[in-house]
Chains A and B, each alone.
Chain A
Amino acid sequence: MKFQAEYRDLVAAKKLQRAIGEIVTQPWTIMEVCGGQTHTIVRYGIDELLPDEVELVHGPGCPVCVTPLELIDKAIEIASCDDVIFCSFGDMLRVPGSRHDLFEIKASGGDVRIVYSPLDCLKVAEQNPDRTVVFFAVGFETTAPANAMAVWQAKKRRIDNFAVLVSHVLVPPAMESILSSPNHRVQGFLGAGHVCSVMGYEDYEPLATRYQVPIVVTGFEPVDLLEGIYRCVRMLEQGKIGVDNQYARAVKREGSRVAQGLIKEVFEVTDRKWRGIGTIPHSGFRLRSEYERFDAEQRFAVGDVQVRESSKCISGMVLQGIHKPHECPAFGKECTPEHPLGATMVSSEGACAAYYNYGRLLESHQPSCSSTLAGKPAIVPLPTD
């Protein structure tokens, strides 16, 4: 496919690998923020292509992972109501709540539906005027304009049997939270390309200046990631701070003003709790008062749900790049994608799930030729003990 296949080209990747090796003179730790990038890195073995001096650590950029457990429980409570059609993106259905997940609610007769786009929910609502359609509005800034459009359209078209359960989180406050932590290891960032395609990267410039780090807005294909790493290493080696844009084919400095206007019309910034990290000030969106009647939490009066996370899970440390997945005693044992204990194992974009799914079970992981870039990840056989 155009704009995809050429960015998976092995020859181009090897040239970039060589270029990184030629400019690096000392150890550097770079964090990729986005879970989609984490998935590509582990799937294609991008980190195995890098010289020993360049270490990649994985950030908190998986909205599925960082959605608080109590919000999953609220979703399950709402989806269990007889007069509700609960709609969600597919990857939220298998995230376990305290006792159940949405798939179990569906299996036991609940009307839980996977949608491709939030606009699909409006059609479902119009077709079912005697029931309430609730959409699980999860995501970063990338997904916010789509969810905002659904709410805006619902108001405009007077579709009153529609509501959203909002769990929107924002990337720059999470980056700032990591950088302001005294024990962080991050010297440079690969910025989340699709978040920036919506929001631009003006907000990242003061962050780069304040914390003296380079941030390279980066795409999602192997060649994108290698070029992003090359640019970030080059900035680190030259002592440069600021924001560079590797993903210029899809990202402008100002982002999409149309999308930003739509977000501002429907949402306002609020504090948000991140699973595995805790509450980060001004790190999420909630509905503005003009759109409050579409707020599922108010409409269904799902009160404060008390939950407790596993004491064994170190996902908070993994999300902040302080530890790697295989440094957790539960990783691959009590904690697997089928039975996740914490945030980073619940979605394929979580660092722990990516490591598990691509056979990264040991700290001394040997390069496994997963760096073929042929689209076929190498799966290391799991231990049989």
Chain B
Amino acid sequence: MCLGIPGRVVETFIEHDVMMGKVDFGGVFKQVCLNLTPDAEVGKYVIVHVGFALQVIDESEAEKVFEFLQHMDDLQELRAGEEDANVEGAP
């Protein structure tokens, strides 16, 4: 019921004094109400639920989990490097 799908705004227009838009969901286009997201512009991504954009997606925040995972990988490599150094330094 609370399903929200990300889509890209491709057009904006006013209908009955309400900001509306055409949103592209990977090739499927739907008319969406943009009234709740005044900062939704053409080219931005929005989360859409029952024909309403709830929020503009913050693209920099979307990257953070992958930066965190990369950081984890770097730590793993560092740990592995330390272990190798210890092995090399063993008598």
Contact = CB atoms under 8 A, between A and B. Distances in A.
B29 interface: no
A209 interface: no
Interface string B39-71: 000000101011110110111011011101100
B37 to A, nearest CB: 8
Given A15-B73, A194-B49, A248 B1 contact: no
B55 A251 contact: yes
B54 A194 contact: yes
Most A CB contacts (10 A, CB to CB) among B25, B45, B51 go to B51
B41 to A, nearest CB: 16
Contacts of B72: 15, 19
A146 B51 contact: yes
B33 A3 contact: no
Interface string B58-91: 1101101110110011000000000000000000
A342 to B, nearest CB: 17
Contacts of B1: 35-36, 62-64, 89, 91, 138-140, 142-143, 347, 349
Nearest to B51: A117
A57 B11 CA distance: 42
B2 A249 contact: no
A347 B47 CA distance: 23
Interface in A1-17: 1-4, 6, 12, 15-16
B35 interface: yes
A223 B65 contact: yes
Contact of B16 (A35, A153, A197): A153
Contact of A249 (B36, B50, B57): B57
Chain A, interface size category, equals: 35 or more
A249 B59 contact: yes
B2 A140 contact: yes
A192 B1 CA distance: 12
Contacts of B73: 15
A193 B25 CA distance: 20
Given A223-B65, A227-B65, A248-B61, A192 B55 contact: no
Contacts of A262: 36
Contact of B65 (A12, A116, A149, A251): A12
A59 B33 CA distance: 30
A220 B45 CA distance: 17
A194 B2 contact: yes
Contacts of A347: 1
Contacts of A161: none
A1 B6 contact: yes
A4 B50 contact: no
A336 interface: no
Contact of A119 (B3, B8, B51, B68): B51
Contacts of B58: 248-250
Contact of A197 (B35, B51, B54): B54
A165 interface: no
B9 to A, nearest CB: 13
A89 B49 CA distance: 12
Contacts of B47: 194, 197, 250
B18 interface: yes
Interface string A6-35: 100000100110010000000000000011
A6 B25 CA distance: 15
A4 B35 CA distance: 24
Interface string A220-248: 10011001000000000000000000101
Contacts of A140: 1-2
A293 to B, nearest CB: 20
B57 A195 contact: no
20 contacts: A1-B6, A2-B8, A3-B6, A16-B69, A116-B30, A116-B50, A117-B51, A117-B52, A139-B2, A142-B54, A149-B35, A193-B4, A194-B2, A194-B4, A223-B65, A246-B65, A250-B55, A252-B55, A256-B54, A258-B38
Given A194-B54, A248-B58, 9 more contacts: A15-B72, A15-B73, A64-B1, A116-B51, A119-B33, A142-B1, A197-B47, A227-B65, A347-B1
Nearest first, the 8 A-B pairs at minimum CB distance are: A117-B51, A249-B62, A248-B61, A3-B6, A1-B26, A249-B61, A142-B2, A194-B2
